[in-house]
Amino acid sequence: MPLILTAATTSIMTAVSKGQGAKLSRMAPLRNLNMRAGVQSTPVGSNQVSYKLAAKLQVVGNQAEPPCTPCAARKGPFVGCTRMDNFCGGVSAGWYYGGHPTRCSFWQGRRKLKANLQRRADELQQITRMRKRMMRSEERERG
């Protein structure tokens, strides 16, 4: 069945954006904009960059299988969990919307943060070893 775009979807996809938003606008819509019932805000007609970008991503993104943890629990502004590796930091559309990327289990910053912490821990271990060596050598010098 061909996808018939709703007015909201057309409005989102034709909303003027720069950068990532402009790229998303050039992609083929895979589904209509689908907001969860009870969501107070709307990306339609909004000037908020994260709203527009997230809504475009929801329309053209890949369906995440399995979905991220909060989307699987039916949280967030959009129905379903759609994302793309090189857009919005890899998070699903609903968590980019309004700026909550760390809530999405696809957030790639988590991996970077973990690698950073591991490097710091390794450095600290090295410093501790050096300090012990220095203390031992000082003790020997004192006799």
Binding residues vs Zn ion (CB under 5 A): 68, 71, 81, 92
Detail the DSSP E strand segments found in 16-137: 62-63, 82-83
Q: How far is the CB of 75 from Zn ion (least distance, A)?
A: 9
Q: How far is the CB of 30 from Zn ion (least distance, A)?
A: 15
Detail the DSSP E strand segments found in the chain: 62-63, 82-83
Q: How far is the CB of 36 from Zn ion (least distance, A)?
A: 12
Q: How far is the CB of 15 from Zn ion (least distance, A)?
A: 22
Nearer of residues 72 and 127 to Zn ion, judged by Cβ = 72
Q: How far apart are CA 93 and CA 59, in angstroms?
A: 9
Nearer of residues 44 and 57 to Zn ion, judged by Cβ = 57
Nearer of residues 25 and 92 to Zn ion, judged by Cβ = 92
Nearer of residues 1 and 37 to Zn ion, judged by Cβ = 37
Contact 60, 24 (CB under 8 A): yes
Report how far apart, in Å, the C-alpha atoms of 40 and of each of 36, 56, 76, 103, 126 are.
10, 18, 11, 19, 52
